[in-house]
């Protein structure tokens, strides 16, 4: 087993990583709960088996006066947590420049460090943030005598963070993944939106005018506000061998748009998204699991391609080494989720 000591040394940017190897665990939804709310804490035993990842949130959406109660509530959850259930237990701690984060990390590692899988760090702006958290965790793990290193997950939610995304992903072997934080990112970029993720009816393109008649009625189509950032994030995660996630979708009632946003992220390469309400758990589970028809098609292609080289035609569609690899991605995911 790797010891926390292996995770102490931050990687040089671009250095090959001799120890990173994230074992597959279903991660289709990171379900947020507020541990300062005793009613939510009481629901954890029922909720845990229904989600891939349960996250005790200590940061935004927890009022300043409830920060300590949230930390204590999560410690209570961690103490009675049964890791053999397979669900991962994560936390989102407060930002590294906040007055609460030091106590968050010190308390959580000492009290429930052996139950937590991943620490989500908000508002990460560069490798220096990851190096700081990496070193601090190493010290706290050593003091607590932990045998298993805690992993780190960064939220991409500032313009500077997006600009430095590759170095963030490569900053430490502890890095498990990245999430898009569309609400904070929108504010930081001074975008003119007032929503938590999702689209905007004003962000659209319009058909060209027929015969140059600009007064004629013309169809419009909404565009995905998050396409660039999600694609950038997926590539950076691919370079580092870590996992990209879409973040929150705040309009809980709009399950259709939530599903569309999640699916765009899935198709672009994300492995999961946040769920902020129980209704979003099922959406994420469905969207981030390959559809049976897609799996059946992938099987046909792989069977038809034999050793995976050359070219064949299937239903009028050309298949070759590259489509074979695409199909393997779908089959690998389907197989891993079925295990
Ligand atoms: C999440 O933290 C966000 O800011 O969208
Ligand atoms: Mg945020």
Q: Is 181 in the pocket of ligand 1 (CB under 6 A)?
A: yes
Measured CA to CA, the distance from residue 111 to residue 89 in angstroms comes to 14
Closest CA to 91 of 121, 62, 59, 56: 56
- Which ligand 1 atom sits closest to the C-alpha of 122? 2
pLDDT per residue as tens digits for the range 297-331: 999 999 999 999 999 999 999 999 999 999 999 99
Q: Is 157 in the pocket of ligand 1 (CB under 6 A)?
A: yes
Q: Give, for ligand 1, the residue of 185, 226, 245, 275 to mutate: max count of ligand atoms closer than 8 Å to Cβ.
A: 185
Residue 223: C-alpha distances to residues 124, 191, 204, 283 (Å): 27, 15, 5, 21
Q: Give, for ligand 1, the residue of 155, 179, 193 to mutate: max count of ligand atoms closer than 8 Å to Cβ.
A: 155
157 marked ligand binding residue: yes
User: Which element (helix H / strand E) includes 114?
Assistant: none
Q: Is 183 in the pocket of ligand 1 (CB under 6 A)?
A: yes
184 marked ligand binding residue: yes
The pLDDT assigned to 304 comes to 98
**Confidence bin at 21 (pLDDT 50/70/90):** low
Residue nearest to atom 3 of ligand 1 (CA): 181
Residue nearest to atom 2 of ligand 1 (CA): 181
Residue 103 pLDDT exceeds 50: yes
Ion ligand 2 nearby residues (CB, 5 A): 157, 181, 184
Tokens for 189, please give them: 């970029």
The ipTM estimated for the assembled molecules is 0.99
In degrees rounded to 5, what are phi and psi of residue 265? -65, -40
The DSSP-derived string for 287-305 is HTS--HHHHHHHHHHHHHH
92 marked ligand binding residue: yes
**Confidence bin at 22 (pLDDT 50/70/90):** confident
Measured CA to CA, the distance from residue 133 to residue 176 in angstroms comes to 13
Residue 200 pLDDT exceeds 90: yes
Number of H helices, E strands in the chain: 12, 12
**Confidence bin at 23 (pLDDT 50/70/90):** confident
Q: Is 155 in the pocket of ligand 1 (CB under 6 A)?
A: yes
pLDDT per residue as tens digits for the range 226-282: 999 999 999 999 999 999 999 999 999 999 999 999 999 999 999 999 999 999 999
Please give the average per-residue pLDDT across 188-192, as a whole number.
98
Residue nearest to atom 1 of ligand 1 (CA): 181
């Amino acid at each position: 087993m790797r010891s926390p000591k292996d995770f102490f040394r931050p990687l040089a940017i671009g250095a090959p990583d001799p120890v990173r190897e994230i074992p597959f665990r279903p991660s289709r939804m990171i379900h947020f709960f507020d541990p300062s709310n005793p009613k939510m804490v009481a629901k954890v035993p029922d909720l845990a088996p229904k989600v891939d990842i349960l996250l005790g949130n200590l940061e935004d959406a927890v009022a300043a006066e409830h920060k300590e109660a949230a930390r204590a509530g999560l410690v209570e959850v961690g103490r009675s947590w049964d890791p053999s259930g397979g669900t991962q237990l994560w936390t989102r701690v407060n930002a590294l420049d906040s007055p609460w984060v030091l106590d968050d990390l010190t308390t959580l590692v000492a009290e429930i460090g052996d139950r937590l899988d991943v620490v989500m760090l908000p508002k990460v702006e560069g490798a220096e943030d990851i190096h700081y958290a990496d070193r601090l965790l190493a010290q706290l793990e050593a003091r607590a005598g932990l045998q298993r290193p805690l992993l780190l997950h960064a939220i991409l939610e500032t313009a500077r963070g997006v600009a430095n995304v590759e170095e963030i992903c490569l900053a430490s072997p502890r890095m498990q993944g990245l999430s898009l934080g569309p609400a904070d990112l929108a504010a930081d970029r001074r975008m003119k939106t007032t929503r938590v993720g999702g689209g905007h009816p004003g962000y659209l393109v319009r058909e060209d005018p027929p015969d140059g008649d600009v007064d004629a009625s013309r169809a419009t189509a909404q565009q995905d506000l998050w396409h660039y950032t999600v694609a950038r994030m997926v590539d950076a995660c691919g370079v580092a061998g870590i996992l990209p996630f879409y973040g929150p979708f705040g309009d809980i009632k709009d399950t259709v748009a939530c599903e569309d946003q999640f699916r765009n992220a899935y198709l672009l390469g994300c492995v999961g998204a946040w769920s902020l309400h129980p209704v979003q758990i099922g959406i994420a589970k469905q969207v981030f699991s390959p559809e049976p028809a897609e799996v059946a098609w992938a099987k046909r292609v792989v069977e038809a391609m034999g050793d995976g080289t050359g070219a064949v035609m299937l239903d009028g569609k050309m298949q070759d080494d590259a489509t074979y690899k695409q199909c393997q991605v779908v089959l690998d995911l389907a197989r891993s989720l079925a295990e």
